[in-house]
A and B are shown apart, each in its own frame.
Chain A
Amino acid sequence: MEGFESGLTWEVRANDRKHHKQMKSFLCFRWGRYADNLVRSYKYSPLTFLPLMLFEQFQRAAYLYFLLMVVMQSVPDISSVPFYITILPLLIVLSVRGLKDLANDMARRRSDSEINSRPCDVLDSQSFNRAQWKDVCVGDVLRIHKDQVIPADLLILCSSEPHSLCYVETADIDGECNLKFRQALSATHNQLTSHPSEETLAAFDGVVLCEEPNNRLYTFRGQMHWRGESLLLDNEHILLRGTVLRNTDFAYGLTIYTGADSKVLRNCGKLRVKRTRMERVFNQVVIGIVLSMLLAALLLAIGAGVFSSWVMSHIGPTSALVINGNPVYTGFLIFWSYIILLSPAMPIALYISFEVIHMVHSLFIGWDMEMYWQQANRPAQARNTSLNEELGQVGYLLSDKTGTLTQNRLLFRQCCIAGEVYGDASSKAEDTEPMDLSWNPFSCGEAPVYQAASPDEEALVGAARELGWVFLSRTRDVIVVSELGVTREYRLLALLDFTSHRRRMSVLVREPEGGLKLYCKGADLVILERLQKDCLHQERTERALELFSQACLRTLCVAVRSVPEASWEQWSKTLDQSATMVTSDRDALLEKLYDQMEIDLQLIGVTAIEDRLQEGVPETIALLQQAGLKVWVLTGDKKETAVNIGYSCKLLDPDTRLLEWQELKQILQSPDPGVTFFKARQTELWAVDKQAAEAKTALVLTGPELAEFDQKPEWGATFMRLAEQCQSVLCCRVTPGQKADIVSLVRKHTRSITMSIGDGANDVNMIKTAHVGVGLAGVEGGQAVQNADFALSQFRFLQRLLLVHGRWSYRRISFFLRYFLFKTCGFALVHIWFGFFNGFSAQSLYETWFIALYSLFYTAVPVMCLAFFEQDVNAESSLKWPELYRSGQRQELSSPLILISSLLYAVYSSLVFFFIPFGVFHNTAYDLQTMAVTVAMAATFTANAEISLVTRYWTRLNVAAVCVSVVLFFICSRITQSTRLFKASPMDYFFLGASERAFIDPLVWLTALLTTWTAVLPSMTTLAINVILNMHDKHKVHSASSQPVELRSRLTRGASLRRSSYALSQGAGAGRLISSGTCIRSTVLTVDEQVTADNNSLTHSSRSTRRTTLMHQITHE
């Protein structure tokens, strides 16, 4: 007992707020042992906003750099351009970003407060009061209503159900959609239920000692000390925050962990700031630029030192140039002056433009009608507005299953009874003779909870009822069924429970006539091997099984056996004996006993249930796979279900080879995994197309298996290499933490962008871990959306999000970046070359106002238009030719090489900017200001000519932007060089009259024209050569993009093709509870009640559409 007690340091005293409220707070800081139940995803408080925001912003090296620039520019000795040239853009950038952060934070606050203010009932001295989630405190006793989301991790004290059972839906946590039961301790059940009044609960003074808060969802260790007793607590007694109470009117619980301590939130992972790869590459480039600038400035400064010592050695009028006697000091000052002068090459405007572009792209996502979900009145939403271009580069899509791929509703589609297939287009299921569907209610032994534990069974019972077999009621021993109007009573003798190993379950009933029947349902393989020899219809049924599985239905075999009275008696005696045995021995014995009973079965038939996919899922996955994305499914659900969904959503082809853990482990352990893997695939020799064979392997893993990766980190790389060659990877039974680990694994071992998509709280972690997280705004919850970067309503909207918006964003931003680097560097680097001809004096070749206005007025708008509107192909074509997406995955437009080449291009153009005017003005009577205007004109023309070359999609706005930019150059030049402004401030507007003369000088125009053309010549040539070479390629793309012939093998390969997915859950079924009668209500339900209950279930609503869909599906197949 000592060992167990160790580590139980979390003390919870029921109904003792004082003990837990030892919370202190000062301003915005809080500390204390017990967290409150507030969700805080916001970052700022009014007090911390300014310092925190500035701190965060100045973490960007670029901003610090510009701050430094401003400081340096205010030093007169080194100021080569006035400080206001830099401080204005910096202030604009800071305030825009700050406002954006503020708006985001406000949105987070709103959504937090929405969650925090959800109502719940808290016991407050003798009575339950309506309070809000945020008021819940450790130690409080809560009353949870049916269908209420549980606000904190609770210990069940008692419930309205017999034996204080509770049913919870954990879909939001683990993705499983069957109901789980939780039970109160018998001590609390007995003591507190007898008087289910507030008084007894208020008097409850138990003390719970348990583990410190942790993120383990499936375990809980603790003790409760109450009335001198010490009771052990485990996971069975806990209701987790985020789960939903179902089928239970009330449950009373003691709050154990609140808010940030609760297991769900512990699983959420940290909020991390996501940066796009493009941004990182770009930052590297910027660092490269800064280093080059420093180097250039250093060399120029050395030049300045040498020059000044040369000048100093002379006397005469030019000795006036010497500022002071020390060349080293001169060089030092000049160094800083050049850093200032070259700083425009460091594009600060780029950061702000980046923000604006991202924002607009995000708006476009929200504005897209095609991603608007009418039924929920919900448009798509880009919650994180800085990841858009990553959408165009996604290489791995990691998807949740439940609620993401599937709608989480099951439908009874088809069945095969006595070898006849029913439920297809030709024969209506209702017309069938009263086949022995009566197994149905029995086999769904767990139906009594009027919502079935598993959706499979819910669907079956619903279908049976519609066909005339109505499940009326059951008590512990008796099941009442109305069979086509005749009420019959069956006595339940034994329930041979489900385990994941057995993959079947049976009921033994005594018919009203007195006969004994064993009904068994289970996975096809298990049932088929237990059939009588020469069983009737076996062959035809197997054919039907294949038919069903090709249609991607979940199949279930049902068989019956008449049990002789004698054998039953003997068997039941042994069974009774087993009840007294130790657990471990008993399980083995039970299994053997069950095996003995489930033999010589007679096949009744097969049912086929459709796990309904969301609309357009298979098409979307096919399209994404064509676009080169690897789609993986990570689910908390069981393997069978996951694989089944994999088939039905076309993630796996019928002939895909599934590679499971045992095989994979051998491959991973082998000295040369690649070769072994290849050999493993060699078994697929029937595949004609080698490439197709490569693609047609899929890995299927489960959570516990994945856990082995923790011990063998070296497997990660190998695994990813193998996975890269596979069609897909399915990970089942994974915890939210493991989902995130898988995402990390992919991130670590590939260079691809990962995207996670999910809808529940269990996906939050992986959504946060992936480069891009997408949340599906599902029926409930919304935790995923809260933490996601993008929120969609339907899985199929991913098509548009990735292939249209993502691709466009990526292209636009890539072009934008390249162009921006070109235009800023090209224009700033001129000063390096000019330095050689002005004694390295950091003399600017431009009017100061031109430097400021160049990036603001003369070049900014056209590139913004490009970044907003550019499309190479329209949305329809983007979807039609998903291959186009691959260029983003390969980063063809944004590789460092591309960025470097545009830098080189900028260097070239700066050389042109300087040396052509140099050649013209050399040894002439033209003055510096005329040359400055000429170079400025050439630079403006070049920037606008270059953007015209890049733009392939000329809207009116693009045209206007380019025209206005050029015109603005002339207007602004005339304004800043006008008499009026000069008179106002001669120091700031000293270019008086320069443009007035220059703009009418043909030599200036001819020089600017030649300079412009020469500067854009490389870009022009590249464009022309691309046009010429792509003539050929375009034809190829177009011919290839016609739908390729699908080489799908129709080869059936025996039993392995069949996919029977009968499995409730990885754990054992609730048979033990049922047979012990724990969960059977004593009251008998009326038919009405049941129908009402069923109406609530999702199955009903879709029933009417079922037949048409089915017909459609069959013709499709």
Chain B
Amino acid sequence: MVKEEKEIANRPDNTAFTQQRLPAWQPMLSAGIVIPGFVLIGLAFIGIGVALFVTSRSITVLEIDYTGIEKDSACFKCSNADVKNCVCNLVFSIDSLFEGPVFFYYGLSNYFQNYRKYAASRDDEQLSGDLDAFTAPSDSCSPYDYNSNDKPIVPCGAIANSMFNDTFVLYRVVNGANKLVPLDGKGIAWWTDYNVKFRNPSVTPLKNAFNNTVKPIFWPKPAYQLDASDPANNGFINQDFLVWMRRAALPDFRKLYRRITDGEYAKGLPAGNYSLTIAYNYPVESFDGRKKVVFSNVSWMGGKNEFLGIAYLVVGSLCVLMSIVMLIVYAKFKFPEED
């Protein structure tokens, strides 16, 4: 008995796995599946493309460049970097009701917020309210960690330092009089940014936390004074600051500035003339950048995006086209066989 056992001791196990006989599904593709498959997928893509395209068309976008490079531009006078505290007025009209809710963006182009060193130039400890990092900012912020007097900069780093600081006030021109359009700046930043990623130090008043620190070099006001109207919207959890700190993907980008949702404007901006007063502070001329303001409403797919719809249409058509080619090839190969 023992001997018998020994004799077959080395015999491999007879299982489906070891014998490589695992039950398996082997799809048998044929022209009858492949060609209609291509057609179907192509049609589906065309369908999505059409839906996207139509949706995108229904979105209204108003985009106004206010860089001021051109001489006839309203902000031409401000484009000179030497002019301080320049304010310019941008007048525009809306022909029909701009359906709401209307989103108000500012846009920058040729601006490399995705530059790696720029992105790395921040101190997360500091931004999460760690007071130790207030007095000793991380090396990663260099050269924006200490000012020339060796005082620590808070918030440190290039990205904070370069925060967009143009401000906008929108008026509706009614019978020659400017009527302020209320802009809603609440909740424009990500929830996680506002609640987790960025924290103010738990010091009241907030100002005291910033003792012995200096504001970033380019900033006109320190962080705890970013929003004079709402004391809660200051420090690192200032919505505009949060929006700025969330880096754009590509050099041409928009950032949400405000939403127009209040009262009479909840349904949108009525037709008429508008005036946008811009505090022109942010210099872009030096890097051939452009600045613009964008008004847009949104759909289920977000903002206007014609590219996606067209891309779907193109790819879908390509599939259909290819299925036709395949059909021809198939016919050519099939019929000689039947002869």
Which B residues from 1 to 60 make CB contacts under 8 A with A? 6-14, 18-27, 29-31, 34-35, 37-38, 41, 45, 48, 52
Q: Given A837-B114, A1028-B329, does the pair A320, B162 have CB atoms closer than 8 Å?
A: yes
Chain B residues whose CB sits within 8 angstroms of the CB of A954 once the complex forms: 24-27
Decide yes or no whether B302 CB sits under 8 A from chain A. yes
Most-contacted residue by chain B among A956, A986, A1006 (CB, 10 A):
A1006
Contact call A955/B23, Cβ cutoff below 8 A: yes
Decide yes or no whether B297 CB sits under 8 A from chain A. no
Decide yes or no whether B308 CB sits under 8 A from chain A. yes
Q: Given A321-B117, A928-B248, A986-B125, does the pair A1002, B301 have CB atoms closer than 8 Å?
A: yes
CB within 8 A of B246: which of A311, A368, A924, A927? A927
Contact call B315/A1017, Cβ cutoff below 8 A: yes
Contact call A316/B286, Cβ cutoff below 8 A: yes
Contact call A979/B301, Cβ cutoff below 8 A: no
Interface size for B (C-beta < 8 A) is 95
CB within 8 A of B112: which of A838, A924, A932? A838
Q: How far is B116's CA from A918's CA once the two chains are assembled, in angstroms? A: 18
Most-contacted residue by chain B among A808, A843, A996 (CB, 10 A):
A843
Q: Given A318-B287, A369-B19, A919-B308, does the pair A925, B256 have CB atoms closer than 8 Å?
A: yes
Q: Given A369-B12, A377-B7, A922-B250, does the pair A843, B192 have CB atoms closer than 8 Å?
A: no
Decide yes or no whether B311 CB sits under 8 A from chain A. yes
Contact call A367/B19, Cβ cutoff below 8 A: yes
Q: Given A841-B112, A918-B250, does the pair A314, B303 have CB atoms closer than 8 Å?
A: no
Q: How far is B255's CA from A838's CA once the two chains are assembled, in angstroms? A: 18
Contact call B115/A843, Cβ cutoff below 8 A: yes
Q: Given A377-B11, A923-B254, A925-B303, does the pair A841, B329 have CB atoms closer than 8 Å?
A: no
Q: How far is B111's CA from A368's CA once the two chains are assembled, in angstroms? A: 64
Q: How far is B22's CA from A954's CA once the two chains are assembled, in angstroms? A: 9
Decide yes or no whether A44 CB sits under 8 A from chain B. no
Q: How far is B302's CA from A368's CA once the two chains are assembled, in angstroms? A: 58
Contact call A923/B252, Cβ cutoff below 8 A: yes
Q: How far is B318's CA from A987's CA once the two chains are assembled, in angstroms? A: 44
Chain A nearest CB from B258 CB (Å) reads 13
Q: How far is B19's CA from A954's CA once the two chains are assembled, in angstroms? A: 16
Contact call B31/A927, Cβ cutoff below 8 A: no
Decide yes or no whether A271 CB sits under 8 A from chain B. no
Decide yes or no whether A1025 CB sits under 8 A from chain B. yes
Contact call B161/A317, Cβ cutoff below 8 A: yes
Chain A nearest CB from B163 CB (Å) reads 8
CB within 8 A of A317: which of B21, B109, B218? B218
Contact call B112/A321, Cβ cutoff below 8 A: yes
CB within 8 A of A364: which of B20, B41, B337? B20
Q: How far is B330's CA from A1030's CA once the two chains are assembled, in angstroms? A: 10
Chain A nearest CB from B289 CB (Å) reads 8
Residue of B nearest to A953 (CB): B24
CB within 8 A of B12: which of A372, A979, A1021? A372
Which A residues from 982 to 1003 make CB contacts under 8 A with B? 982-983, 986-987, 990, 992-993, 996-997, 1001-1003
Chain B residues whose CB sits within 8 angstroms of the CB of A372 once the complex forms: 10-12
Which B residues from 240 to 277 make CB contacts under 8 A with A? 246-256
Decide yes or no whether B190 CB sits under 8 A from chain A. yes
Decide yes or no whether A849 CB sits under 8 A from chain B. no
Chain B nearest CB from A748 CB (Å) reads 36
Contact call A1003/B302, Cβ cutoff below 8 A: yes
Contact call A316/B287, Cβ cutoff below 8 A: yes
Chain B residues whose CB sits within 8 angstroms of the CB of A844 once the complex forms: 116
Chain B residues whose CB sits within 8 angstroms of the CB of A918 once the complex forms: 250
Chain B nearest CB from A1024 CB (Å) reads 4
Most-contacted residue by chain A among B23, B192, B303, B319 (CB, 10 A):
B192
Residue of A nearest to B192 (CB): A993
Q: How far is B162's CA from A839's CA once the two chains are assembled, in angstroms? A: 17
Decide yes or no whether A362 CB sits under 8 A from chain B. no
Interface size for A (C-beta < 8 A) is 86
Contact call A1014/B18, Cβ cutoff below 8 A: no
Contact call B116/A838, Cβ cutoff below 8 A: yes
Classify the secondary structure of B's interface with A.
Answer: mixed
Decide yes or no whether A187 CB sits under 8 A from chain B. no
Residue of B nearest to A371 (CB): B12
Chain B nearest CB from A687 CB (Å) reads 33
Decide yes or no whether A1093 CB sits under 8 A from chain B. no
Contact call A871/B333, Cβ cutoff below 8 A: no
Contact call B247/A927, Cβ cutoff below 8 A: yes
Q: How far is B326's CA from A1027's CA once the two chains are assembled, in angstroms? A: 10
Contact call B192/A323, Cβ cutoff below 8 A: no
Chain A residues whose CB sits within 8 angstroms of the CB of B37 once the complex forms: 1024
Decide yes or no whether A80 CB sits under 8 A from chain B. yes
Chain B residues whose CB sits within 8 angstroms of the CB of A1014 once the complex forms: 311, 315
Decide yes or no whether A916 CB sits under 8 A from chain B. yes
Q: How far is B287's CA from A364's CA once the two chains are assembled, in angstroms? A: 64
Contact call A921/B250, Cβ cutoff below 8 A: yes
Chain B nearest CB from A952 CB (Å) reads 6
CB within 8 A of B19: which of A368, A374, A1003? A368
Residue of B nearest to A320 (CB): B158
Decide yes or no whether A842 CB sits under 8 A from chain B. yes
Contact call B116/A1031, Cβ cutoff below 8 A: no
Q: How far is B247's CA from A921's CA once the two chains are assembled, in angstroms? A: 13
Contact call A367/B192, Cβ cutoff below 8 A: no
Contact call A1010/B283, Cβ cutoff below 8 A: no
Chain A nearest CB from B300 CB (Å) reads 6
Q: Given A924-B303, A979-B192, A982-B197, does the pair A316, B283 have CB atoms closer than 8 Å?
A: yes
Chain B residues whose CB sits within 8 angstroms of the CB of A321 once the complex forms: 112, 115, 117-118, 158
Chain A nearest CB from B121 CB (Å) reads 7
Decide yes or no whether A1029 CB sits under 8 A from chain B. yes
Decide yes or no whether B193 CB sits under 8 A from chain A. yes
Q: How far is B144's CA from A368's CA once the two chains are assembled, in angstroms? A: 68
Chain A residues whose CB sits within 8 angstroms of the CB of B113 once the complex forms: 928
Chain B residues whose CB sits within 8 angstroms of the CB of A808 once the complex forms: 20
Q: How far is B305's CA from A130's CA once the two chains are assembled, in angstroms? A: 91
Chain A nearest CB from B334 CB (Å) reads 7
Q: Mark A1036-1057, 1 if CB is under 8 A from B, else 0.
A: 0000000000000000000000
Chain A residues whose CB sits within 8 angstroms of the CB of B6 once the complex forms: 377
Decide yes or no whether A315 CB sits under 8 A from chain B. yes
Q: How far is B303's CA from A924's CA once the two chains are assembled, in angstroms? A: 8
Decide yes or no whether B196 CB sits under 8 A from chain A. yes
Residue of A nearest to B218 (CB): A317
Chain A residues whose CB sits within 8 angstroms of the CB of B247 once the complex forms: 927-929
CB within 8 A of A992: which of B9, B27, B192, B282? B192
Decide yes or no whether A444 CB sits under 8 A from chain B. no
Contact call A1032/B333, Cβ cutoff below 8 A: yes
Residue of A nearest to B283 (CB): A316
CB within 8 A of A841: which of B116, B193, B250, B322? B116
Chain A residues whose CB sits within 8 angstroms of the CB of B303 once the complex forms: 924-925
Contact call A377/B162, Cβ cutoff below 8 A: no
Q: Given A316-B283, A318-B286, A320-B158, does the pair A1027, B11 have CB atoms closer than 8 Å?
A: no
Interface residues of B (CB under 8 A from A): 6-14, 18-27, 29-31, 34-35, 37-38, 41, 45, 48, 52, 81, 105, 107, 109, 111-119, 121, 124-125, 128, 144, 158-159, 161-162, 190-193, 196-197, 218, 246-256, 282-284, 286-287, 289, 300-303, 305, 307-308, 311-312, 315, 318-319, 322, 326, 329-330, 333-334, 337
The 4 residue pairs across chains A and B that have the minimum distance between CB atoms: A993-B192, A320-B158, A317-B162, A314-B286
Given contacts A364-B20, A1006-B312, 18 further A-B contacts (CB under 8 A): A317-B282, A320-B144, A320-B159, A321-B115, A321-B118, A337-B116, A369-B14, A372-B12, A843-B119, A871-B24, A918-B250, A923-B254, A928-B114, A993-B192, A1001-B302, A1010-B308, A1031-B334, A1032-B333
| 29 cross-chain CB contacts under 8 A | A318-B286, A320-B162, A337-B116, A367-B13, A839-B251, A841-B118, A869-B24, A871-B20, A919-B307, A920-B308, A923-B109, A924-B253, A927-B247, A929-B246, A952-B26, A952-B27, A986-B125, A993-B190, A1002-B302, A1003-B302, A1006-B312, A1010-B311, A1010-B315, A1013-B315, A1017-B319, A1024-B37, A1024-B38, A1025-B329, A1029-B329
